[in-house]
Structure 1
Amino acid sequence: MSIEELIQKLEGTLTTYREDQERSRRELSEVEVLVRQSAIEVEKLAQRELSVSNRVRDLEVNLERYSKDEIKNFYTTSQEVQMRLQIMRGQLEQIQSRRDMLRTQQGQIANVVGLLSDLLEAMQTGGFSTEAQNQNGLDTEAMIANIIQSQESERLRLSLQMHDGPAQSMSNLVLRAEICYRLIDHDLEQARSELNALKNAINTTLQDTRKLIFDLRPMTLDDLGLVPTVRRYTTQFGEKNKLEVNLMIQNLEQRLPNHYEVMIFRFIQEALNNVARHANANQVRVLLDGSGHTLQIIIEDDGQGFHVSDTLENARARRCMGIANMRQQAEVLLRGEFGLESAINRGTRVAANIPLPMT
């Protein structure tokens, strides 16, 4: 491929990503409006639920003042309001999850647009020597392909998570709510039992959705920064996967630019997910050391290990382990170095050296 053809391909790719960026911006704006509207509705329902709960407490204290129909109506109204409030809160959580995912997507697209713009400008202004253009053209084309493939893989992973998680759970909740509705007029005690089970199911779905939101885009990453987010994530990761995670963080007192913190967190997340899926390990050590002007990241486990050369030659294995993603995050997006060491029955060590921005 000639340099002129590569420039044309870069221009087309850049245009596509800019269109995606604009669509994502519009969708994010619409979702922000939905979040505000849903939050207002949840607040109204919460106030109504409080009012109804007060009336029910008054009823329980002064039971003799009310007829059986009034008691039945009070409890039915209370259950309906509580159920609507739980459903609305679940919907709000889903919309907030969508908003957070769009924010993350916008950041990723912005990084890609910036990178492609810099490459295009350098190529158009002769920033590459004629002798190096052919090799650079091949490297650039491969890098663009990796970026696109990584983005599509992430979209597929997210869609599967949403389908197998919250979407399935919400469908189940709708069916159980329908059962409760039909039981109210026929068997009040059974309806109450079903409503209690429904409430527990809603709480479980809510917790699962919150975990998914944290995996997609931890809110603490924006609010508190990289260090508290990594501490929380490694703690939850260890509890979930029954692993001993030893975390050591040194010389990282200052906040880093947002895109640095996002990419570093994703790198650690990908490496730990590999440990959970493939390593069969008992212990994991995570080190972040910001000494000097470089951040050193090391994730090593005591698992079963693998042949690095065989894995790097196997494209399917590389995709399964996210090696291309981690290499891209470290070397392309953060201008650092990536390293991978492993041997059968001797564990695995993933490392990155990231040059820190000057403050």
Structure 2
Amino acid sequence: MVLPPPQTKEFHDRIVALEDECRAELDQSTQSTNEIALLLQKTNSEVEKLASRELQFSNRVRDMEMHLDNYSREDIRDLFTNAHEIQLRLFMMRSQAEQLQNRQQHIKEYQAKLHLLLDLLALQANSETAAGAGFGAPRATPLIATPGTQVLGESNVMSIIEAQEDERLRISRQIHDGPTQSLANLVLRAEICERLIDRDVEEARQELVGLKAMLNASLQDTRRMIFDLRPMIMDDLGLVPTVRRYLVALSRISKLQGEVSGPEQDIGLNTTIQVALFRFLQTMLAALMAESTAEHVNIQVERQDAAAVLRIEASAFQGERSAVEERLLDPDSHFQHRVKMLNAGMTTEQRTNRGLCIELTVPIPAEAVL
């Protein structure tokens, strides 16, 4: 397609037509996104039900293997057949959910490109008006203003909404994989105890001891999850003591050891920015634990005039340090979205003795300073 010369009425009309096409494509993609979100919600709901049933059948199979004398040959065959069917359906539904998520991500990327194109078209229209083209008022991308804040563009609003939805998805998965599965196991364990009471009191007593241990472990896991979601002690103790307690909790479930240094109480920042800094540290530590096995970390929190500096020095790596860097620098990750939204800057440096230093500098808004 040959474009007409710039600064002509034909060029302006072509820009306006292209803008209308982009908005129509954006509306259509938004409708597709809503439809996929509905399908994904139904699929995830079905996956949760199947996962719960699969867990129940797995526990029944284990119970059957421990008490084969109590099951007939037909019962054994039916139990294995049903368990296999549930596993197959669960695999198919999870594959479908993954396909829907990939399609949803592709549409979001396409929408981001459309938003960028609309912004460029609006800039072109503004430049024509400033140059005196006079071919009509520009139709710039609408802006959204919130009381007491700066004006936000559509792309920024979409980024905020996507960040919120990603966080909700993370929380729902964490609840599903944690307390929900634990409760299902506890229910099945209680059913086993109920059956054993009339047959073997001693074995039932042993099962109750195991049930008590499972309850205690589930309680600790729930407390750990609540701490990960929103550490309440930050309001009372501050950022550095909260990070120190989080590191102690990590050391109980892994071999990671370390120290935390920084302002102990008054860091001079409101709770919102302190939680954001804690999330950054939490994500960086998670990347270290997921991609490698570091024996020791040194966490430093520094408060400068207009920024906060977070530094993690890890040593004695047992994995590839580049994998940690790639995970944190992934432009599509939720971590990088937060980094961009706060205009933060991150650097990594590989050091001797298989060490790695990760430093994040976060600008502090004036309204966040106490």
Which TM-score band applies after superposition, normalised by the shorter structure? 0.5 to 0.7
Amino acid at match of 2:271: N
- Contact 1:305/1:343 (<8 A) preserved: no
Structure 1 partner of 2:361? 353
Q: 1:128 to 1:275 in 2, by over 3 A?
A: farther
Q: 1:251 to 1:235 in 2, by over 3 A?
A: closer
Q: 2:338 aligns with which of 329, 340, 348?
A: 329
**Equivalence map 1:163-202=2 (5 Å):** 163-202=176-215
Q: 2:230 aligns with which of 184, 209, 217?
A: 217
Q: 1:352 to 1:323 in 2, by over 3 A?
A: farther
Q: 2:304 aligns with which of 284, 287, 291?
A: 291
SS at match of 2:262: strand
Structure 2 partner of 1:204? 217
- What do residues 227-247 of structure 1 show as CA deviations (whole Å, max 9, x unaligned)? 321121122223322122121
Q: 1:297 to 1:240 in 2, by over 3 A?
A: same
Distance 2:124 2:338 in 1: 23
**Equivalence map 1:229-248=2 (5 Å):** 229-248=242-261
Amino acid at match of 1:336: A
Q: 1:283 to 1:146 in 2, by over 3 A?
A: farther
Amino acid at match of 2:228: D
Amino acid at match of 2:363: P
After TM superposition, give the deviation of residue 255 of structure 1 in Å. Answer: 5.3
Q: 1:338 to 1:252 in 2, by over 3 A?
A: farther
Structure 2 partner of 1:65? none
Distance 1:128 1:150 in 2: 30
SS at match of 2:304: coil
Amino acid at match of 1:244: Q
Distance 2:220 2:182 in 1: 11
Distance 1:263 1:9 in 2: 32
SS at match of 2:305: coil
Higher mean C-alpha deviation, range 145-154 or range 172-181:
145-154
Distance 1:262 1:337 in 2: 18
TM-score normalised according to structure 2 size:
0.51
Structure 2 partner of 1:57? none
After TM superposition, give the deviation of residue 213 of structure 1 in Å. Answer: 1.7
- Contact 1:173/1:202 (<8 A) preserved: yes
SS at match of 1:250: coil
After TM superposition, give the deviation of residue 342 of structure 1 in Å. Answer: 4.1
Q: 1:301 aligns with which of 290, 314, 319?
A: 314
Amino acid at match of 1:249: G
After TM superposition, give the deviation of residue 189 of structure 1 in Å. Answer: 3.7
Higher mean C-alpha deviation, range 284-293 or range 178-187:
178-187
Q: 2:262 aligns with which of 234, 249, 256?
A: 249
Distance 2:125 2:298 in 1: 43
List runs of 5+ in structure 2 lacking aligned partners: 1-14, 34-114, 128-137, 143-152
Distance 1:246 1:322 in 2: 30
SS at match of 2:313: strand
Corresponding residue pairs, total? 239
**Higher RCO (CA < 8 A, seq sep 6+):** 1
- Contact 2:301/2:311 (<8 A) preserved: yes
Which protein is bigger by CA-based radius of gyration? Answer: 2
SS at match of 2:174: helix
- Contact 2:300/2:312 (<8 A) preserved: yes
TM-score normalised according to structure 1 size:
0.53
Q: 2:295 aligns with which of 274, 279, 282?
A: 282
- Contact 1:146/1:324 (<8 A) preserved: no
Structure 2 partner of 1:264? 277
After TM superposition, give the deviation of residue 297 of structure 1 in Å. Answer: 0.9
After TM superposition, give the deviation of residue 207 of structure 1 in Å. Answer: 1.0
List runs of 5+ in structure 1 lacking aligned partners: 17-118
**Equivalence map 1:1-359=2 (5 Å):** 130=126, 150-250=163-263, 253-254=266-267, 256-302=269-315, 303=317, 304-307=319-322, 317=327, 324-332=333-341, 334-342=342-350, 346-358=354-366, 359=370
Q: 1:247 to 1:158 in 2, by over 3 A?
A: same
Amino acid at match of 1:270: T
Amino acid at match of 2:337: Q
RMSD: 4.5
